[in-house]
Amino acid sequence: MSPNNTIGWRMDNSYVTLPEIFYARTEPARSPSPELIVLNYPLAASLGLDTDELERKEGIDELAGNRLPEGAEPISQAYAGHQFGHFTMLGDGRAVLLGEQITPDGKRLDIQLKGSGRTPFSRGGDGRAALGPMLREFIISEAIHALGIPTTRSLAVVTTGEPVYREETLEGAILTRVAASHLRVGTFQYAAARNVVEDLRALADYAIERHYPEVKGASHSYVALFEKVVERQALLIAQWQLVGFIHGVMNTDNMTISGETIDYGPCAFMDMYDPATVFSSIDRQGRYAYGNQPGIGEWNLARLAEAMLPLFDADNERAIKIAEDKLSAYRELYHKHWLQGMRHKLGLFAEEEQDGELVEELLTIMQNQGADYTNTFRALTVDEWSGVPMSETNVFKKWFGKWEARRARQSETKEESAKLMRASNPAVIPRNHRVEEALEAAVDRGDFTVMDQLMNALAEPYAHTKEQLEYMAPSSSNVPYRTYCGT
């Protein structure tokens, strides 16, 4: 780090060592009068950055793309993707990867500006973003992180000082996103579509070096790489399901090789338990409904396997057999992670054969009774049933007796069981109406106190504090909630 780098950047860009077909050199567009709106102080500190310096003009200029951090080599990445099942060649249309920050503990993390102007992959778009969607990604991604789920994170949001034009004129903004990397299933599909095996091999070698160096010594390292991605995605999607998170747009370009949640567009959290729940305005067929997410994860991994076939074996039939064999592990891995998570949500330690039936019976009752997903598990955790009408039904009381009997058969005490449940069942999630309330106050009135208070409540979702009580109630509105791809 040179003496004049007072902010703390230690930037590199290993991605530019890949063949040039994977990226385009791209300078962020200038922002006429950037203003810092929100800064993630704990994340900045973990990156080795001085928050006082980030809040000064030089730091804000770097977060706005007006000035490049020392060592940055800005690029936009090329990738492809199946969008709602249809294959398309894509790329970063409004994002610029500045490079990778080397953190004090030696990690290499992508620093990306989202909404920083046109790129060679913009396909006619303006490359800009509006304030509301950038704040929404900040809120939801940090909430997901607090829930203990792997995710890209949000370092800052700045306004640009110029409008963006959508259905209406909106205030422009840039989000600084931090990620283990931005390698996607769609990146491999892009390489495969170009049909140059050497490029595909270079990408796979880079993914191994970046995320799975432990497989470098394996006899079939590319097969081992695919197995690792299958494992990570099975765990990730199980974690989504356990907290009622609906991603909303699980296209293959929104599925990371690292196993992080990425691209918070039309995502939302489920209130009433219903596997058919869809929030995205563009998902008219329910392809990415809550209950479909595990299957879509498998479908996306099949597309990754197709892209990697030339690396599995020179003989296509043998390569397909390898792919099918390794992909077949996904369902069992997913179910294992999901069921173990459900056991923890019910305070169960050891495994019993009938545990799956016990869980499914509860979920069926919840669906039939229109019960709130998060609040039902919270009620079980703290044994507080006011506001949970389902608890008065005979069918639930019968199930409750089975659950009590199941807990009584384990050697752990009720106190130990309750502790496990508290650590597994969040008291609060980013309720859709609360998120909209915070965004409306910030965007329409310039009042960020509502968002600050929400973020404070979401920062420790498993704390079960009195201060969180007001954020637990679902919306009283009967109007179906809809989300849009504003990000």
Q: Which residues are catalytic?
A: 253
* Amino acid found at 352: E
User: Contact, 92 vs 119, CB < 8 A?
Assistant: yes
State the Cα–Cα distance between residues 463 and 467, nearest whole angstrom.
10
What is the distance in angstroms between the CA of the first residue and the CA of the last residue of the chain?
33
User: Contact, 199 vs 21, CB < 8 A?
Assistant: yes
Nearest 5°: the CA angle 274, 277, 282 is: 170
State the Cα–Cα distance between residues 206 and 188, nearest whole angstrom.
11
**Residue 486's closest CA among 182, 138, 145?**
138
State the Cα–Cα distance between residues 334 and 236, nearest whole angstrom.
9
Number of helices and strands in the chain (H, E): 16, 13
* Both tokens assigned to 370: 């229109």
**Residue ranges in 50-150 assigned as alpha helix (H):** 51-54, 57-64, 131-146
Say what the alpha-carbon torsion angle 289, 290, 294, 295 is, to the nearest 10 degrees: -20
State the Cα–Cα distance between residues 134 and 151, nearest whole angstrom.
16
